Amino acid sequence: MELNLTKAGWLNCHRPRGRARAGLSVAIHSAYSPIMKEPFPPRCLIFLLALLFIVLLGLQPASAQTEGGDQFLDGIGETALIARYVLNGSAADGSRNNHQATLQGAGATYVEDDKFGKVLSLPGSGNAFLQIPGQALEAVDAITVMGWVFLRSPEPWQRFFDFGLNETTNFFCTPIGDADDEGYRARITTRGWGEEKGPTAPRVATNRWVHLAVVLDAPRQTLTIYHNGTRVGQTTGVETKVEQLLDEDDARRTHLYIGKSQDRKSVV
């Protein structure tokens, strides 16, 4: 199982071939999607999600890196790789930056999958989620979050990820919303749901592996979503920067969640 963070402006989408992965480059173009005009219902935790991988890419100074790591992405240098979580039995960071993630709550397990081997399963109960260290996004001005997910329920407002300080200041992606034609969406805000910006696309199918990628390119003021390597939505004029989502004085107050909402009242 694997999750990656990368440099915005481009991304690599990895498709499965048995248990191996082959690279596919995807370019970013322009489009516009409207702002969501209603608040989220209280249930915002992920519900029955299997995760294969997560990759975080961004503009990050080389001085922040340490020795070691796993050079793996076709065309992506370690200077762009913030973190890589394979999630095939542990939540260790496979990059050189040592942003080790931790499993929180109860009920998360590693299970065997026919396509990918061992993967992380979040049950939708016991408040189970993956947490990335808050300092992982420091000194980053553009970010790509991408990973393989397997949704086992059509429960709306599940979270792929939710990064920020709270439900008012956050950057998140949900694969499934209320309506079929606008379920897959990414949003960013520092003023609550009424000021959110981000693209919308048809909801992600359940009971199959899909590759999702979300690109926040602050210098170009764009927020883009991809589904299985194809751009399916983009919003322009996005002025919020990554640094506005962080507590620069205390990284412990920055919450980088996989499979969990910033909404502290949410339950499953």
How many Cβ atoms sit within 10 Å of the Cβ of residue 61? 10
Residue 203 pLDDT level (bands cut at 50, 70, 90): very high
CA distances from 233 to 32, 173, 174, 184, 259 (A): 7, 13, 14, 9, 22
Is 90 exceeded by the pLDDT of residue 58? no
What is the pLDDT at residue 129? 93
8 A C-beta contact, residue 66 and residue 96: yes
**DSSP bridge pairs for 110:** 120
Residue 264 pLDDT level (bands cut at 50, 70, 90): low
Distance CA 21, CA 73 (A): 10
Average pLDDT over residues 242-265: 89
pTM for this entry: 0.78
8 A C-beta contact, residue 256 and residue 136: yes
Residue 193 pLDDT level (bands cut at 50, 70, 90): confident
8 A C-beta contact, residue 120 and residue 110: yes
The average confidence (pLDDT) of the chain is: 76
Q: Does domain 2-258 have CATH number 2.60.120?
A: yes
Query: CB neighbours of 69 closer than 8 A, spacing ≥ 6?
Result: 78, 81, 94, 95, 96, 97
What is the pLDDT at residue 202? 95
Is 80 exceeded by the pLDDT of residue 240? yes
State what percent of residues in the chain have pLDDT above 90: 49
Is 90 exceeded by the pLDDT of residue 243? yes
Instruction: Summarize pLDDT for 131-183 with one digit per residue, the tens.
Output: 999 999 998 888 999 999 999 888 888 899 999 999 999 999 999 877 777 78
Buried b (16+ CB within 10 A) or exposed e, 168-207: ebbbbbbbbbeeeebbbbbbbbbeebeebbbbbbebbeee
Is 90 exceeded by the pLDDT of residue 76? no
Q: Which residue has the higher pLDDT, 185 or 48?
A: 185
Residue 126 pLDDT level (bands cut at 50, 70, 90): low
What is the pLDDT at residue 187? 96
Instruction: Summarize pLDDT for 5-54 with one digit per residue, the tens.
Output: 554 433 333 333 333 222 222 222 222 222 223 333 333 344 456 776 67
What is the pLDDT at residue 79? 57
Is 90 exceeded by the pLDDT of residue 3? no
Beta strands in 42-122 (DSSP E): 49-58, 81-85, 102-104, 109-113, 117-122
Average pLDDT over residues 233-258: 94
How many Cβ atoms sit within 10 Å of the Cβ of residue 19? 12
